[in-house]
Structure formats: structure tokens, C-alpha cells
Amino acid sequence: MADPMIGRPFAMPMIKPFIPKKVQPWLYLLCAVIFQMVNTVYMGSMQQMVGDLGIMREDVSFIFLCGVVGVAMPFPILFRLKFRYTNRQLELFSISGMIICILLTLALVNFTDVALTLPLMCLLSYCCCFFKLMATFEVFSNIQLWMTPKRHFEIFFPLLYIVVLGDMSASSWMSQQLTYYCGSWQATQWFIVGVLLLVLLFMYTCTQPFRFMKPLPFISIDWLGLALWSAFLLELIWLFNYGEHYNWWDSELWLNVLGAVIVTFYFALQRMRHIHHAYLDYRAFKYKTLWPILFMFGVAELMNSTSTSLESVYTGAIMHWGMMTLSIQNIVAIIGSMTGCLFCLWWMKMLRLPYTRLLTIGFGFLLVYQVCMYFYITPTLNFERLIFPTFIRTFGYAIFFTTLTLYLEELMPFQHFFMGLTIAGFVRNGLVSAIGGGLYGFSLRRHIADNLVSGLPFTVFDSMLMAIKQLYGVTCLIGCAFMLLLMLWHVQPVRSTLKRLPYWNTIGRAMRKELGKE
């Protein structure tokens, strides 16, 4: 095996020698699992936060979505950070940043001025998750050759997303358990701070400075471009997250934010077109295959958003299931995500079948979930019957998510691939989820009102139940149309085998050459 940095036998020279070599990559993998569970707020304890802080559900959702955007934005500068600072420096800085952001969020809870604390909590959520991705990338970039000795993306990405997608459900389950048994939603944050302090201690005592090449100057970073694109994405999410609360076009505040979206997008676009080192290179948007991939990401996220927009209303407002009952769904979701990623790995490496067919398989499972829920929506449903739909939804989403990322890497050169991940993050990291939540919330209200005035003997309970069922039916029809499109449009990969991960020093030399030209 070759080292991911310098071509020697696999080793982790950034870790001090007294740590056994066989244990070193497992310790870094454990750190990645911990990092992916970090956040300033957790959706699993939303009800407790709403009651304790006196804020709205939309406020908690937006704070959380700010963190989701923070995860999407750092990709274009990750290698610049890696080639400028050592692994030890980046990890100590990122972990310290996460701890500070969480502690400041907890300190803001004691303030009564909601108009001031909410924007600060949104900013801290964004920064915390920005640091989270920096730390996670630095971990995986040092163990990726341990994960795939021959540098295959079709091995690396499924294993990577086992951690990423699995931790999404694991963090919600953890917050529900700690909130219930400790009696406070802040227990999760304090627990995470304690774990991060242990990781910080490990990094401080067990790692050492190591460079595999001369450091690149940390210049020509378009920080204003980063701020503009982040603001544009957050403003769009705000529109759909708060749209139902402010009654959309009838709100002056909503219209002002809509105007701000247009202005922000204009300046971000003009800056991208007119400076040499834009945060997002305009050439990254010109790949013809990028737009179909973004469209498929959008459809998958829209189909997946019914679990939070419709199913949560059904389980909460109609069935009145408690937090600990619903936490079982998160355990099923963890199993479904891990199984879906392993299925991708088995399909591509063991069976060696065309990986693009996985798109149809993954979306098929997402569609089966919608069909199951359409028939399951009754006032007498047993909770156990939701286990199967939850499993197939997360199983299909993991397949679709992993395969689309592989397809994105296949059809974009490595020079623009990480920018492509940020562009894809515009769709998959919060925006479409917020759009789906806003549209389903608006449609749910309209359908409930229509059912009440239809002349049929419907109560509010019956109208809500029927409205959820109707929206699941519409989603099934949309899913069937898209499924037919996937079956008719048989996409073939450009190559019979996927590209391999380039060596880090090769990427570093290319960046040094590019900076030297300036």
C-alpha cells in the first residue's frame, strides 16, 4: 500500500509512534464519527427548545439549516487549507472552533432578547458546521488509502457515507435519549462538548507536526464570494422556511427578503464572472451533465422531505406518539443508511455491475416509501408498521445519494469536483428540504381547508388525515413520472471504471504551479 501523501507504505506520521499503528486509523475514524454528530442545535429536541426558549419551530429549523449550509460551503478551500497547515494545526483549530461555537450558543440561551440571540445562534451554527467539515475532511484525507489501498472512489464514497448518513440519524437519536433522561435539551450539547474535549486532548498529546510538502501560501481566497454565496443560499432557505408563517406574499418582511435574494445573487454572480480566483469558478457551472445531476438531487431531496413535512405531522398531531417512541425510527434509519451504502459497495465492487443503474434502484425504494405511507395513513396504525417504510426510505436515499456523488465525480475533473460538491450542496444541503417543507406546509393548509368546506362530514382531525393522504398520493404520482423518466433515459458512464483519487502531492504541485503563474 502507498501512503496517500508521499507514496510510501501506508503510515500516519502525524500520530506519535507510541500509538500502535493498527489502532491509528481506527482512532481517526472514531474522531470522524464524533465530528459528524456535532451541531449547535438538534432537531430531535426541537419541542423542548421551543418550549424552553419561547421561540417558534421555524426558528429552530432555520438555526439547524444554517449549520447544514455551513457543511456545504468549505469544499473549495479544503485542499488550500491542507497544503498550508499541518494536520495537527487544522484539527486543533477546528475542534476548538466547534467547542467555542457550542459554548457560545449555550451562553446565548440566558439572554432574553430573541431578536439579537437568534441571528447570533444562526451564525454560530454556520461556523460550527464549517469547522466540522474541515475536521472531517482532514481525518478522511489521512485514512482514505487505508480505506481503499487502490484509491477507488467506488469504495471510498460508500464507506464515507456510512459515517455521514448514519450519523445524521444517530445524532437525532442521541439528542432524544439525552433530552429525555436528563430532562434538558442542553444535555446533548454538554455531552458533545465533553467528547470534543477528549478528542482535543488526544490531538494535542498524540499528534505531532508533519508536512509532506512545502506549505503553499494561503492567498487568493475569495472570502467575499464565500459570504455572498452563503448569504444567497440562507436567504432562499429563509423564504421557504418562514413562508407559511408569514403567509408568503402578504408579508412585507417576506417580500424584502425576496428582494435581498435577487440582489445577493446578482453580486455573487458578477463577482464570480469578473475575478480570477472566484470562490466558485464559473467554468464549474458549464458542465452539461451537472444540471441533470442537480435535478436528480432535487427530486430525491423533495421525495425524502415528506418524512419531515408529512410523516412528522401524522405521527405528532394525529397519532400523538412521544419522543422516545419516535426515536426507534432513528435506529431503523441508521441501519437503513448503512445497509444502502454497503449495497452500493457490493453492487460496484463484488458484482461489478453498471453503477448508474443504482439511480433507478435507489429512487425505486424512495417511491415505494411514498406508496406505503399512502396506504398506511389511517387513524389506527400500529407504530411497528412504520419500521419497514422508514428502512426502505433511508436505504433508497443512501443508494441515490452515494451514486449521484459518484456520478458527479465521474463527469467533472478533479479541478472542479470539490466546487461541484458545493454546488450540489446548494440543492441537497437544506434548500430543497426547506422548499419541500414550505410547499407541503402550504398545500397541507389548503387541503385541510378544502376538506372542511367540501360539504362532507369531516372534522378537523379527519380533514388533516385526508390532506396528508392526498399529498402522499400527489407525491406518488410525481415519483412515478420521474421513475419512468429514469427507465427511459438509460445513462451510461463515460468510462467502464471510475477515476481514482489523485495523490495529494500531485494536487499540491498543480496548485503551486497555478499560484506561481500569478
Q: Which letter does DSSP use for residue 15 in this model?
A: B
| pLDDT (0 to 100) of residue 447 | 84
Sign of CA pseudo-dihedral 240, 245, 246, 249: positive
| pLDDT (0 to 100) of residue 332 | 93
Which stretch of DSSP H or E encloses residue 309? none
Considering the domain architecture, whether residues 261 and 311 belong to the same structural domain is answered as no
pLDDT, tens only, 444-497:
888 888 877 776 777 777 888 888 998 999 999 999 988 888 777 654 443 444
Considering the domain architecture, whether residues 315 and 428 belong to the same structural domain is answered as yes
**Residue 457 φ then ψ, to 5°:** -75, 65
| pLDDT (0 to 100) of residue 112 | 65
Domain hosting residue 74, numbered range: 1-219
Instruction: Take residue 441 and report the three cell numbers written for it.
Output: 406546509
| pLDDT (0 to 100) of residue 4 | 45
| pLDDT (0 to 100) of residue 135 | 92
Domain boundary residue, one of 262, 278, 294: 278
**Residue 18 φ then ψ, to 5°:** -70, -10
Distance of CA 350 to the CA centre of its chain: 28
| pLDDT (0 to 100) of residue 436 | 84
Considering the domain architecture, whether residues 455 and 343 belong to the same structural domain is answered as yes
Radius of gyration, CA atoms only, the chain: 23
d(CA 513, CA 387): 54
Mean pLDDT per 10-residue interval, the chain, length 518 residues: 51 86 91 92 85 84 91 88 87 94 89 79 93 92 84 84 90 90 89 94 89 76 90 92 87 92 93 85 83 85 86 84 85 93 87 79 91 89 89 92 84 80 81 85 85 75 86 91 77 48 62 59
| pLDDT (0 to 100) of residue 500 | 59
Number of domains in the chain: 3
| pLDDT (0 to 100) of residue 99 | 95
Q: Which letter does DSSP use for residue 316 in this model?
A: I
CATH code at position 369: 1.20.1250.20
d(CA 105, CA 273): 37
- Find out whether 116 and 479 touch, Cβ atoms under 8 Å: no
- Find out whether 66 and 125 touch, Cβ atoms under 8 Å: yes
Reduced 3-state DSSP string for 363-407? HHHHHHHHHHHHHHCCCCCCHHHHHHHHHHHHHHHHHHHHHHHHH
Q: Each residue of 336-371: b (16+ CB within 10 Å) or e?
A: bbbbbbebbbebbeeeeeebbebbbbbbbbbbbbbb
Considering the domain architecture, whether residues 169 and 230 belong to the same structural domain is answered as no
| pLDDT (0 to 100) of residue 494 | 39
d(CA 50, CA 432): 24
| pLDDT (0 to 100) of residue 314 | 86
Of 37, 44, 71, 41, nearest to 59 (Cα)? 41
Residue 67: how many CA atoms within 13 Å on its side-chain side? Answer: 25
Considering the domain architecture, whether residues 372 and 395 belong to the same structural domain is answered as yes
Sign of CA pseudo-dihedral 497, 501, 502, 503: negative
Considering the domain architecture, whether residues 260 and 299 belong to the same structural domain is answered as no
Considering the domain architecture, whether residues 68 and 203 belong to the same structural domain is answered as yes
CA-to-CA dists, residue 48 to 43, 45, 117, 190, angstroms: 10, 5, 17, 16
| pLDDT (0 to 100) of residue 509 | 65
Considering the domain architecture, whether residues 398 and 356 belong to the same structural domain is answered as yes
| pLDDT (0 to 100) of residue 502 | 63
Q: What pTM was computed for the model?
A: 0.89
| pLDDT (0 to 100) of residue 501 | 60
Considering the domain architecture, whether residues 262 and 406 belong to the same structural domain is answered as no
* Maximum Cα–Cα distance across the chain: 77
| pLDDT (0 to 100) of residue 496 | 42
Judged by DSSP in three states, 206 sits in helix
Q: Which letter does DSSP use for residue 285 in this model?
A: G
Considering the domain architecture, whether residues 262 and 291 belong to the same structural domain is answered as no
- Find out whether 34 and 167 touch, Cβ atoms under 8 Å: no
Domain boundary residue, one of 230, 245, 278: 278
Domain boundary residue, one of 188, 219, 250: 219
Considering the domain architecture, whether residues 28 and 162 belong to the same structural domain is answered as yes
Which amino acid does the sequence have at 23?
V
Considering the domain architecture, whether residues 322 and 395 belong to the same structural domain is answered as yes
Q: How many CB atoms lie within 10 A of CB 328?
A: 17
